[in-house]
Chains A and B, each alone.
Chain A
Amino acid sequence: MKLELRGITKRFGSLVANDHIDLVVESGEIHALLGENGAGKSTLMNVLYGFYDPDDGEILIDDTAVNFDGPGDAMAAGIGMVHQHFMLVPVFTVAENVVLGHEPVRGGGLIDLTEARRRVREISDRFGFDVDPDAKIEDLTVGAQQRVEIIKALSREARVLILDEPTAVLTPQETDELIGIMRQLRDSGTSIVFITHKLREVRAVADRITVIRRGKVVGSASPSAPETELASLMVGRSVDLGVDKAPAQPGEVGLAVRDLTVLDALGVRQLDGISFDVARGEILAIAGVQGNGQTELTEVILGLQKPVVGSVQLDGLELIGRTVKEVLNAGVGFVPEDRTEDGLVADFSIAENLILDRYDQPPFAKGFSLYPSQVRTNAEKRTVEFDVRTGSVDAFASTLSGGNQQKVVLAREMSRPLRLLVASQPTRGLDVGSIEFVHSRIVAERDNGTPVLIVSTELDEVLALADRIVVMYRGQIVGIVPGGTDRDVLGLMMAGVPLVEAREQAAAHHTALGDADIATEEDNS
Chain B
Amino acid sequence: MSTVVEAPTASSGPQSPRSGAVLAPISWKAPIAYAVVAVIALIGFVVVAPKGLETTFTVSTSSDFFQIAPITVPSTATALLLCLVALVLAGVSFWATRSRRKVGVWLPSVYGVALVLAFLTWSAAGKDSALPLTGLLQGSLFLAVPLVFGALAGLLCERSGIINIAIEGQLLAGAFLAAVVASITHSAYAGLVAAPIAGALVGLLLVLFSIRYMVDQIIVGVVLNVLVIGVTSYLFSTVLKVDAATFNSPPKLPVIGIPVLSQIPIIGPVLFRQTVLVYVMYVVVAVLQVMVFRSRWGLRLRAVGEHPKAADTVGIKVNLTRMKSTVLGGAVAGLGGAFFTVAAGLAFGKEMAGGKGYIALAAMILGRWSPAGALAAALLFGFSDNLRVVLGIVGTPIPSQIMLMTPYVVTIFAVAGVVGRVRAPASEGIPYVK
Q: Which residues of A contact B (CB under 8 A)?
A: 49, 51-52, 70-73, 75, 81, 83, 86-92, 96-97, 100-103, 105, 108-111, 152, 247-248, 250, 261, 263, 265, 267, 269, 272-273, 275-276, 279, 282, 308-309, 467-468, 470, 473-474, 476-483, 496, 498-499
Is B260's CB within 8 Å of the partner chain A?
no
B242 to chain A, nearest CB (A): 48
Contact between chains at A267 and B23 (CB < 8 Å): yes
Question: In the complex, which of the residues A92, A474, A481 contacts B4, with contact meaning CB atoms closer than 8 Å?
Answer: A481
Residues of B with C-beta under 8 A to A91:
306, 423, 426
Check A272 against B310 for contact (C-beta < 8 Å). Answer: no
Knowing A269-B18, A477-B10, the reply to whether A71 touches B1 (Cβ < 8 A) is no
> Is B399 in the interface zone, CB < 8 Å from A?
no
From the candidates B10, B14, B316, name the one contacting A101 in the complex (CB within 8 A): B316
In the complex with contacts A81-B313, A102-B314, A482-B9 CB distance below 8 A = no
Q: Interface with A: B112-120, B187-195, B222-230, B289-297, which one? A: B289-297
Task: Say yes or no: B312 contacts A71, CB within 8 Å.
Answer: yes
Q: Which residues of B contact A73 (CB under 8 A)?
A: 315
- Is A479 within 8 A of B316, CB to CB? no
Q: How far is the CA of A88 from the CA of B306 in the complex (A)?
A: 10
Once A111-B294, A267-B24 are accepted as A-B contacts, the answer to whether A477 and B4 lie under 8 Å apart by CB is: no
B186 within 8 Å of A (CB atoms): no
In whole Å, how far is A92's beta carbon from the nearest beta carbon of chain B?
7
Chain A residues in 8 Å Cβ range of B313? 49, 51, 71, 81, 83, 87
The verdict on A482 contacting B4 (CB below 8 Å), with A103-B299, A109-B296 known, is: yes
Q: Please report the C-alpha to C-alpha distance between residue A89 and residue B25 in the assembled complex, in whole angstroms.
A: 32
Beta-carbon nearest neighbor of B22 in chain A? A261
Contact of A100 among B5, B316, B317, B421 (CB under 8 A): B316
Report chain A residues within 8 Å CB of B368.
none
Task: Find the A residue at minimum CB distance from B297.
Answer: A109
B9 / chain A contacts, CB cutoff of 8 Å:
272-273, 476-477
Asked whether B307 lies within 8 Å of A89 as measured between CB atoms, the reply is yes
Q: List 7 A-B contacts (CB under 8 A).
A: A72-B314, A88-B307, A103-B299, A105-B296, A247-B1, A250-B2, A478-B10
- In the bound complex, residues from chain A placing their C-beta under 8 Å from that of B311 are 89, 100-101
Candidates B4, B8, B312; contact of A275 at CB < 8 Å:
B8
In the complex, A71→B423 CA distance in Å? 29
Contacts of B303 in A (CB 8 A): 89, 92, 100
- Chain A residues near B295: list those with CB within 8 A: 105, 108-111
Whose C-beta in chain A lies nearest to the C-beta of B305? A89
Q: Is the interface of A mostly helix, strand, loop or mixed?
A: mixed
The reply to whether A275 and B7 form a contact with Cβ atoms under 8 Å apart is yes
**CB-nearest residue of chain A to B310:** A87
Closest Cβ neighbor of A52 among chain B residues: B434
In the complex, how many angstroms separate the beta carbon of B175 from the nearest chain A beta carbon?
A: 32
**B306 and A499 form a contact (CB under 8 A):** no
- Check if B10 sits within 8 Å of A499, measured CB to CB: yes
A51 touching B434 by the CB < 8 A rule? yes
Given contacts A49-B313, A110-B294, A483-B1, contact A496 B299 (CB under 8 A): no
Contact of B426 (CB < 8 Å), options: A90, A110, A482: A90
In the complex the two chains form, what is the Cα distance from A496 to B15 in whole Å?
7
Closest to B9 in A: A476
User: Chain A residues with Cβ under 8 A from B306's Cβ?
Assistant: 89-92
Please indicate which of the listed interface residues A89, A473, A496 has the most CB atoms of chain B within 10 Å of its own CB: A89
B270-311 near A? 1/0 per residue, CB < 8 Å: 000000000000000000001100111101101100110111
Distance of A427 from chain B, by nearest CB (Å): 23
Which parts of B134-178 form the interface with A (CB within 8 Å)? none
Give bound CA distance, A470 to B294, whole Å: 46
When A89-B303, A111-B295 are in contact, do A498 and B11 touch as well, CB less than 8 Å?
yes
4 tightest CB-CB pairs across the interface, nearest first? Answer: A72-B315, A101-B314, A267-B24, A87-B310
- A73-B315, A92-B303, A308-B25 given; 7 more Cβ-contact pairs under 8 Å: A91-B306, A92-B302, A100-B299, A108-B295, A265-B421, A482-B4, A496-B15
The answer for the CA separation of A84 and B10 in the assembled complex, in Å, is 32
For the complex, give the distance between the alpha carbons of A273 and B10 in Å.
Answer: 11
Contact of B14 among A49, A81, A496 (CB under 8 A): A496
Q: How far is the CB of A473 from chain B (nearest CB, A)?
A: 5
Given A100-B300, A103-B296, A110-B295, A476 and B14 contact (CB-CB distance below 8 Å): yes
Is B52 in the interface zone, CB < 8 Å from A?
no
For window 1-35 of B, CB contacts with A under 8 Å fall at 1-2, 4-11, 13-15, 18, 22-25
B residues in contact with A86, CB < 8 Å: 310
Give bound CA distance, A308 to B22, whole Å.
8
Give Cα A342–Cα B305 distance, bound, in whole angstroms.
Answer: 27
Whether B312 contacts A474 by the Cβ 8 Å rule is no
Which chain B residues border A479 with CB–CB below 8 Å?
6-7, 10
Is the CB–CB distance between A96 and B290 below 8 Å? no
Contacts of A110 in B (CB 8 A): 290, 294-296
Give A15 Cβ to nearest chain B Cβ, in Å.
16
Complex alpha-carbon distance, A88 and B309, angstroms: 9
- The distance in angstroms between the C-alpha atoms of A96 and B306, with both chains bound, is 13
Query: In whole Å, how far is A314's beta carbon from the nearest beta carbon of chain B?
Result: 19
Most chain A Cβ neighbours within 10 Å, of B2, B18, B311: B2
Q: Which residue of A lies closest to B427 (CB)?
A: A89
CA distance A160 to B49 in the complex (A): 79
A478 to B312, CA, bound (A): 40
Q: For the complex formed, measure the closest distance between the CB of B251 and the CB atoms of chain A, giving whole angstroms.
A: 35
8 Å CB contact of A71 from B294, B302, B314: B314
Residues in A with CB closer than 8 Å to B309 are 87
